[in-house]
Amino acid sequence: MDNNQYYFDAYFDFINFVDERIAELEKIHSKNLVCKKKCCFCCMNTTVLPIEFFSILSKIKLSGKKPELTNESCAFLKNSLCQIYQIRPLICRTHGLLLAYGKDDDPLAKDVTFCELNFTKSIPKLTEKNVLDMDELNIELVRLNEKFLKSYDGELPERMELSDIIKYL
Ligand code: SF4
Ligand code: SF4
Return the residue whose CA atom lies nearest to atom 1 of ligand 1. Answer: 96
Given pLDDT bands bounded at 50, 70 and 90, which one contains residue 2? low
109-120 mean pLDDT: 95
* 76-103 pLDDT per residue, tens: 999 999 999 999 999 999 999 999 999 8
Average pLDDT over residues 164-169: 97
Q: Is the CB of 42 under 6 A from ligand 1?
A: yes
Q: How many CB atoms lie within 10 A of CB 64?
A: 6
The ligand 1 atom nearest the CA atom of 43: 4
Cα–Cα distance, 19 to 86 (Å, whole number) = 11
pLDDT at 71 > cutoff 60: yes
Q: Whose atoms come closest to the Cα of 95: which ligand?
A: 1
Is residue 132's pLDDT more than 80? yes
Whole-number percent of the chain with pLDDT over 90: 92
CA dist list (Å): 29 to 24, 33, 116, 123, 124? 9, 6, 14, 10, 9
Q: How confident is the model at residue 115 (pLDDT cuts 50, 70, 90)?
A: very high
How far apart are the C-alpha atoms of 43 and 70, rounded to whole Å? 13
Cα-to-centroid distance, 29 and ligand 1 (Å): 14
Distance CA 33, CA 82 (A): 19
Ligand 1 pocket residue status of 94, Cβ below 6 Å: no
Ligand 2 atom, smallest distance to 75 CA: 6
